[in-house]
Structure 1
Amino acid sequence: MKILKYLLPYVTITSFNYYFAKDAITFSSPIFFNLIRYVISSIIFLSISRGKILFNRDVIQLAVYTTVSSLLWAYGLLYVSPAESAVLSYTMPLFSIPISFIILLERPAVLEIVGVVIGFSGVILYGLPLVHGLTLFGSIITIVNALFWGLFTVFYRKLKGYDPITVNASQFSIGSIILALLLPIHHNIDPNPEFYIGIAYTSTLGGAISFFLWNMMVKAEKIPKVTVLSFSVPILTTLVEFLLYHVLPFPIQLFGIFLMFLGILISRSRTLLS
């Protein structure tokens, strides 16, 4: 599997990203949190690209979709746990596959469709205990985030002919401007060591590097192949939550995780057997 060298570090980094983000937004607004992340990530990519950026309609759309996704993800984390956020965010394949078909004309294979359906049914089962109170509100926000994640994933693929460093430098630079304009809406911050640690992780490993790895995966393979593999992140995130906080999912959620794993296996069965 040619994307394995990107997938393994991506899954590991992203699984912990939810916990560091949760700590950071406890002490700052989601807008301020993401602005710092985007500025740091843009500095990293601009320093590598030597200040080179792209500015066209596709890049602007990519930046808008990415920024909206990041904001909704962070606001959702105010109401749901890191593991819940991970699972709900990974409803993304349900959106990205039809969007890629409409925009890129990428037709998924039968096994990939079956894998997504089974994996998504696992997401639904996992999410059933979350449908109440503020957790329901946070769940809805997080699922809308998944829609925008699906959109910017497709635009990463659409821009595959460009240098990914330059694409990310452009995306984060434009996103930083958008977030700076939104900052007056919600700008509170109460910095402390937990906030700084959370920002450091989510801006570097969970920011610049994870976006770059995701970009490289969708650059290398079609959207349906990559997005089904993404179900491995909520599986690992739930395991991390159990190891760190001894929070055991409900039986129906454990069955949901099993279905997510089964969906990955089925969607990749032809690759694994070849």
Structure 2
Amino acid sequence: MGTVLSCCGAAPIKIEGSKNGHHYAWSKRIGYRRIRGHWRSNSSHSSVRRRPCFLHYQSSRNRIEALAREDAFQTNGATIVHADLTVEEDVNDMFANISSDKIIHDFVCNAGYLQEEQVPLVDMSLSQWNTTVDRNLTSVFLSTRGYLGQLKNASVQDPSVVLIGSMSGVWGQPGLADYSAAKSAMTNGLLPTLKDEIIRLAPQGRVNLVAPGFVRTRMIKAKLDAEEEMKKVLQTASLRKFATPEDVANAVAFLISGQLSGHITGEIVRLVGGKEGRVLFDLSEIQV
């Protein structure tokens, strides 16, 4: 039976169900969920097949252990693994230890580090830039490379990879040039490249990306508490609400499932509630 690996850059996601980080959780509707690197969704849909999971963490051991104690993981099996995904030796050791026991069928890569204080590029330090790029992009490179490496010697025909990007990588985000650049590299460079590389290792392998806008997580709590600013954000959103971790988890569960999305690869799922762009100016700042 294939297994699932849920990797997070700085936080966790939880996965179970279908076939088959950072601060997201899954809903109990589809079969998987991921928390700060973990995903979980608990769907009874026939397309969701139970698989044992590996749950990765970097620093939140207590949260991962609590996740692994949940009924679905107790029933289907979950192994906790630790690694700093920005350190090559850590990542190599993690995959070596996993591969000695099981083949990872599906992979969710949920790296997402954000320095919440906005800093214009002109004032940004090289240290901040490097830290953000390492945690959001280098971690994805190292962990995805490790996953693909174990596919070379496996007989997996239809693996699925889901990357977690951000709409900041599509629209950009003033004050977050480092984060936006890293997520844009995943969305516009890594995704289309990987979807054509994975098929050389697994003929029906698929790679897709979920790009959330604002999601109600602790990572952006301070932003969400700024009510007037958030109203301005929602002015251009059809649904006039922010996404939840469950929304992200459900999208990942759909993309992981070969029965639900078996003919979808190289695609970006935008979780923005119909939002189109941003409001740049108050009316008082515009002269006609």
What's the TM-score, normalizing by structure 1?
A: 0.28
- Which of the two has higher C-alpha Rg? 2
Q: Which has the larger share of helix?
A: 1
Q: Which has the larger share of strand?
A: 2
For CA contacts below 8 A with separation 6 or more, give which structure has more relative contact order. Answer: 1
